[in-house]
Structures are given as C-alpha cells and as structure tokens.
Structure 1
Amino acid sequence: MDTAAHPAGNGASGTTLISHLLESLAKRSNYLEEGVIHTNVDSSLSKGDSLADLVTLLTSITLAVKTVGSMVRRMGLPRAEAQSVTDINKIANDTWIRELTASDACCVLVSEDLDDPVVVEESHRGNYAVVFDPLTGLADPPAQDMGAIFGVFRQLTQETEPGVEDVLQPARNLIAAGYAVYGAATMVVLSYGSGVHGFTLDPTLSEFILTHENMQVPYSGRVYAINEGFSSKLDPKTQQMLKALKDEPALDGSTRTCRYIGSMVPELHRTIIRGGVYIYPAHEARPQGRFKLLYEAGPLAFVVEKAGGQASTGTRAILDIQPESLHHRVEVYMGSEDDINLCTSHFRKAPWGRGPSADPMYSLRRSKSIDAQMKAGTEEGDSGGPLVNSPSIGAGGEDGFVCAYLPVV
C-alpha cells in the first residue's frame, strides 16, 4: 500500500464522493459557516443553506469532469463530439459553465479560456465564486494525460452586483479546491479545508469512489520535474538551483531523477503521491512565469499545502499573493517540504549567502546522504563516489562517522 495515499472503502462499492462530501462538510459546518454551529446534519443541509450549496456546487464539478473525461477518451473516434483540439477545448469550457450555472450556487465564474468573468443570471445566482481551467495539458495531437483545475471562493460583494472583485482574492481564502486527472483512470482530488482526498471514477457505477483518503506529500522525494530545454534561458540563480538539484542527493542518499511530460496536473499528482518537486520558473520567454495564479497555481497550491507540502514562487508562498488581474502569472515551485527548501534557498539571502547553506536542514541532509553513500561504497568494495570526495561537503573519519562542515555565521 502506498503510504502517501491510503485506499478507503465502505462496503462492496466503497464510499462515493457525494456521501463523503455530505459527511465531511456536515462535520466541518463550524469551519465553513464562520462559527455558526448547526445542531444536526439535516438542518445544516436545508434548502438555501450555503453548506448545501457548496455540496451541490462540488457535485456539479464532478458532473463536468465525467462529461469531459468521456469526451477525452472518445476524441478522434468516428462520430465523436470533439474531432479537434479546438473542439474539445471549447466544449470542455462550455460544459463547465453549464454545470456550474445549473447548480444555482455560483455568482461569478472565471475560466482560463475566457478573457472576462461570467456573471451568473440572478435567477440562478448563489454565494460562491468559482475559478477553473477546464482542460489542461492539451496537446495537438493529444499525446499525454490531461487534467482540470478548480477553486471556490466565497462571494465578497454580498450587497452589490457580483464581479471580478469576488475572485481577486489570495488563494489562502479558498474554501475548496482540487483537480481532475484524465488518464488510465479519471480521478478527482480535492480539499475542502481539512485534508486532501482522491476519488476514482468507477465506470460501471458512473460514480467517483474514495480511493485515496488523507493524501500526504512525502517530506522528501527523489524526482524533480522541470523543462530543462529552457535551462540556458534561466537566470543565474535559477541555473544554480537546477545544478544543486542534480548534484545534491535526496534525503535518503539517492540521486535525483528528472521526470517531465509537459502536463502540469498529472505531474503534480505524481509529486503529491511520491514526493519531489514540480518547477516552472521564469525565463527569457516568460519573465513572470507561465501559470496563472487565479485558476492554476492558486488552487493547486491550496491542495499541496493542505496535503502537507509547500508551494512557492521561489521567494514567497503562492497562497499569500494578491492577484493583480484575472490572468496574473507566477513562477511555481510545489512539492515536498525538504525539496522546496533546497530550491528556495537559492533565492533568499542568509547571513552567509544564498544557496543550500541557507537551509537549516542542509548539514543534516548532507550527513545522512554521504553516510548512506559511504556504506554502499564500502559494501561494493568502492572507496566512495564523487560526493564523498568533495571537499565542500564534509569528510569521513576513521571511526566511520561523517562530519559535515557547518556554516560559520
């Protein structure tokens, strides 16, 4: 069993996403309703109650995911609804808007595929503002797993007409966020304030079943994901950071490996389950970074941090950034805490300079990594690899202990 994601079940068919939502959100009504404690589940889920609206809203998102997932699987087949990348992108966006509007729980919608927000008609208006990217990782022709991203805010303009100000909030204000993965299986991973849970679509039941309960990002990983094709266009600090990822062993002493497929959601999903770091820094062609804060980086950062990981631009937490516009772009560093600390140490100034030495875990990580390699080398009759021979990281004594050089402040 994967320690990062524990399969869960409830009887022969398992716990459905809807039943999990009803149970979990009812228990957390105090958190979601800002201190208003409901005496029982029925009263908290009565018609017109915002908790019931949130359940309805998240359910409408799963309906959109099912529809788009089915379309993705059939793309290119005779008589398929979508025959091109342009078709599937437009249909996916229209599907999300239709389902969200029909929920009667939203007041304004912001999509990656639209320049302006969609204000829901008053007859179908609710109290939530939703941001989303209906289909990410779409290539022409399709050659990789794809996904979707969403986030839910409370409406700020309760007394006035809803608008863009309802979504221009830091991602830390999200009350729910998640993503969908379209691959060998269709999955929805979401958090509604406490914990992160994954649900897999059972095609025989047409229901999302709880398969990954209380997902946790491992503290450290062995994989980093970055498009190294842009390495020559990175600034010197970022180039040094990338070099450190290649040279610096992982916490268990193993050499890191690069994995990159060019599809953010599947790669971040792997990072959440297996650990490591996903990176998209600024470069010459994209000086502000690539990903949109509002409906890509923000919701994903919310999920990562609720799962115990970290999400940064390199210099600050993504969750704390105030969006300047609907399509505000940011750099992205998301994943395991130890790996993020290593990456961001190159962008913060410590008394002894930038780089891994600015990370308080550096010496411990180095000592453990070198010790593991020395033991492996001894078992193989080897005198040690390049890490052991490096004068910049420490020395092995005759007693078998490894001494790492500590920075002098």
Structure 2
Amino acid sequence: MVRRGRRGGRERRARLLHLASPHAHAAPWARDRRENLLPMSQSSLPELRAFLSGRVPDGLAAILGAFAEASAGLRDALATAPLSDLLGATGDTNVQDEPTAKLDAYANETFHRALRLPGVTRLISEEDEAPVELGGGPYTCCFDPLDGSSNIGVAAVGSVIGVYTGMAAAPSAAAPTLGRQMEAAAFVVYGLPTMMVLATGGQVDAFTFDPTDRTWRLTSPAVRAQPAKYASINWMYRDRWSPAVARAVDNASDGLRGRYSGSMVEDVLRVLLSGGVFLYPEDSASPAGKLRMLYEICPIGLIMEWAGGAAIDGARSVLDVPVTAPHQRGPLVAGAAEAVERYRVAYTAPD
C-alpha cells in the first residue's frame, strides 16, 4: 500500500506538472507548428548586414547597419521605460514647438551617436533646430528619432530615416533638395514584433528583430504594395478640410474600411503590408501640411514608390517637391497606387 501510494503520488505530481505546462493543451498541429518555427529565429533567415553586403556601397551599408543597431537599442529602452525614469517630458520644446519627451531626447542622442560615421557629412533631426555639419562623406542622414512619441504606452512608435546624396548644403531656397536624391530609406515600428522596412536599390524589404541573437532577419523580401482595403486618416479633422480635400478623401476611401492609430509608422506599415491608403492632408490648422518632408514624407514616399505604390502631396509625387528648409512641412497621401490616384483625380478636379 505504501509503495503504491508513493508511486501514485509521483504520478499525480507528474500529471500536475504536465497540466501546468503551457504546451500541455496544445493541439498536435500547434506543437508541430511551434517546433517548425523555432529554427527560423536562428541562421536560416538572411541577416541584415549580409543582405546589404555587395548590394549597396560600403558607406551606405555602414549607415543602415548603424541605424538598425541603434533602433535595436532604442527598442530595449522603450520596453523598460517605465522602470528607468524615461517616461514624461523634459520640460523643453523642440524646433517644432512641441513638448520634448524624455524618450525623444534619448532617441535623438542615440541616433546622433550611431550616425556620426566617416561617410556622413550632415545630420538633420526632427529634434534639432539646425543641421549638424560633420564635413565627412557624401551622405546626409535625415531622421525622426521617435515618430509618434505622443502615443508612447498606447500605440506603436517608430523611427524613420532618409539617406540623401548630392546635398552640398542644408536645403534652402537657393539650394533645394528633392526626395529623389535619397539612396535609401527605412522606418522601424517598435511593436510585437519589432519590424524594419528598408528601401535600397529600387526594392523594399522587411526585417524582423530577433532578440535571441540581436540581429535583424529578412522576413518579407521584395515587398509589394497591396490592393487597398483600409483607409487610415483622422476623420475628426473633417471640418478643417477644404472642399477639394474632402472630395478627394471621400473618393480615395470609398469602399474601404477605416483603420487609424494616430501613429504614422504603424498606420503606414499596415497600409503597405495589408493594403490601403494613408492620408494626412493639409487643413485649416496646418495649411502647409503637418508632416515633415525630409525625414517623414520623403522616406515614406520612396518606400511606397519602390514597392509599387504611390505617394503624393495631392497633385504630384512627394519625391518631386522641392524642399527648401530642413523642417519644411507638407501633406501626404500614400499607399496603393489606385487609391492614391483616386485622391489625385478628385483633388485636382475643378471646383
């Protein structure tokens, strides 16, 4: 009896341990799927630096690798921000006259340190009043270190970069810059998972950050813009729109479902991968538009165009708009080419 009781006790404990396991109730197909996915986090997917090697010049590869590495570090800071006194405001305002969050300042410093490379002649950040002249190589890096920082804790935030050449000086009326001078563009969305969308060599690819070995793995090669399913716009601004904007928004979004998070990078990622159109037109509160050309509008425009989509200011490609100031603003309509074209047709139609 004693032996049987001990054996029964061991068996009961084993059953309880099995039931406590998170895998105990998984269906066989789920266990198989999980086991099949495990190797994918290792070396079976191309890593970013290997992907860039030979694809772009070494100087550009160094910039993009540094941007990716800094983004990985920022991901960690965001994950632990409530534990490390990185939430809240600094008490200062940036050049946009917007309150500076502690994470804005942290992110800006992170990318400044990362991008001071021999091939970089200039840094233009959303957080800095003036460009930082380095006097290095041919590249100007324009970046928004933490896009959507007002959404921290409630929506995904991200980072955006455009890498330009041929910019002998900071943009001015005498020396305007075009988005077509970009050699590469990228944005990161700090979500679950953390993803980076990268445009190089006329192609767009998506990478996922693997925390197990701290690498970026190619998970969606040769991304193509999908047919429109979603319209991403803040409908609460409708009373600020001109008749032309209201008409164009209605035409572009007709038959689409609404999805809007208030975080540009999150909404653009959805539009790119799932299909749709992102709309941030000018309005009476921001007659020139709200987003910034060099480090928000143009990088998103390059990514959309190279993925087979489109990005316009209402009438023309955002990549053809002369940029005459580092923090110049503009409107943006980006996504599936057919939806963007519907916007353009209605926007430019006679009243």
TM range (shorter): 0.7 to 0.9
Q: Residues 15 and 64 from structure 1, CA distance in 2 versus in 1: closer, same or farther, beyond 3 angstroms?
A: same
CA separation in 2, counterparts of 1:206 and 1:167?
41
Q: Compare 148-157 and 270-279 and name the one that shifted more.
A: 148-157
CA separation in 2, counterparts of 1:313 and 1:140?
25
Counterpart secondary structure, 2:348: coil
CA separation in 1, counterparts of 2:47 and 2:342?
39
Displacement of 1:155 after TM fit? 4.4
Question: In structure 1, what is the equivalent of residue 97 of structure 2?
Answer: none
Q: Does 1:96 align with 2:111?
A: yes
Question: In structure 2, what is the equivalent of residue 197 of structure 1?
Answer: 205
CA separation in 2, counterparts of 1:228 and 1:73?
31
| One of 100, 115, 119 as aligned partner of 2:133 | 119
Deviation string, structure 1 residues 375-406 (Cα, Å, up to 9, x no partner): xxxxxxxxxxxxxxxxxxxxxxxxxxxxxxxx
**Amino acid corresponding to residue 307 of structure 2 in structure 1:** A
Displacement of 1:191 after TM fit? 1.0
Question: In structure 1, what is the equivalent of residue 263 of structure 2?
Answer: 263
Question: In structure 1, what is the equivalent of residue 245 of structure 2?
Answer: 238
Q: Residues 98 and 259 from structure 1, CA distance in 2 versus in 1: closer, same or farther, beyond 3 angstroms?
A: same
Bigger proportion of residues as strand: 2
Q: Does 1:225 align with 2:232?
A: yes
* Conserved? CA contact 2:175–2:324, under 8 Å: no
CA separation in 1, counterparts of 2:48 and 2:185?
14
**Amino acid corresponding to residue 86 of structure 2 in structure 1:** A
**Amino acid corresponding to residue 292 of structure 1 in structure 2:** R
Q: Does 1:69 align with 2:65?
A: no
Displacement of 1:17 after TM fit? 0.3
Question: In structure 2, what is the equivalent of residue 129 of structure 1?
Answer: 140
| One of 15, 34, 38 as aligned partner of 2:46 | 15
CA separation in 1, counterparts of 2:175 and 2:165?
9
Aligned sequence identity (%): 27
| One of 210, 217, 220 as aligned partner of 1:212 | 220
Q: Does 1:84 align with 2:91?
A: no
* Conserved? CA contact 2:159–2:188, under 8 Å: yes
Question: In structure 2, what is the equivalent of residue 277 of structure 1?
Answer: 277
CA separation in 2, counterparts of 1:112 and 1:167?
20
User: Which 5+ residue runs of structure 2 have no aligned equivalent?
Assistant: 1-39, 90-100
Counterpart secondary structure, 1:110: strand
Displacement of 1:189 after TM fit? 1.0
Displacement of 1:81 after TM fit? 5.7
Displacement of 1:82 after TM fit? 1.7
CA separation in 2, counterparts of 1:10 and 1:188?
16
1:122-201 residue pairs with structure 2 within 5 A? 125-139=136-150, 142-157=153-168, 163-164=170-171, 168-201=176-209
Counterpart secondary structure, 1:15: coil
TM-score of the aligned structures, taking structure 2 as reference length: 0.81
CA separation in 2, counterparts of 1:148 and 1:22?
23
* Conserved? CA contact 1:132–1:148, under 8 Å: yes
Question: In structure 2, what is the equivalent of residue 54 of structure 1?
Answer: 60
Q: Residues 291 and 174 from structure 1, CA distance in 2 versus in 1: closer, same or farther, beyond 3 angstroms?
A: same
CA separation in 1, counterparts of 2:141 and 2:328?
16
**Amino acid corresponding to residue 337 of structure 1 in structure 2:** A
Q: Residues 10 and 262 from structure 1, CA distance in 2 versus in 1: closer, same or farther, beyond 3 angstroms?
A: closer
1:358-373 residue pairs with structure 2 within 5 A? none
Counterpart secondary structure, 2:144: strand
CA separation in 2, counterparts of 1:167 and 1:126?
19
Counterpart secondary structure, 2:150: coil
Deviation string, structure 1 residues 140-167 (Cα, Å, up to 9, x no partner): 663100011101112443xxxx555699
TM-score of the aligned structures, taking structure 1 as reference length: 0.70
**Amino acid corresponding to residue 249 of structure 2 in structure 1:** L
Displacement of 1:214 after TM fit? 0.2
CA separation in 2, counterparts of 1:56 and 1:141?
29
CA separation in 2, counterparts of 1:280 and 1:145?
18
Counterpart secondary structure, 1:181: strand
CA separation in 2, counterparts of 1:139 and 1:10?
32
* Conserved? CA contact 1:217–1:304, under 8 Å: yes
Q: Residues 141 and 109 from structure 1, CA distance in 2 versus in 1: closer, same or farther, beyond 3 angstroms?
A: closer
Counterpart secondary structure, 1:149: strand
Q: Residues 260 and 337 from structure 1, CA distance in 2 versus in 1: closer, same or farther, beyond 3 angstroms?
A: same
Counterpart secondary structure, 2:66: helix
CA separation in 2, counterparts of 1:215 and 1:243?
27
Counterpart secondary structure, 1:339: helix
CA separation in 2, counterparts of 1:172 and 1:163?
16
Backbone CA RMSD of aligned residues? 2.1
Counterpart secondary structure, 1:176: strand
Displacement of 1:127 after TM fit? 2.2
User: Which 5+ residue runs of structure 1 have no aligned equivalent?
Assistant: 1-8, 26-50, 250-255, 355-409
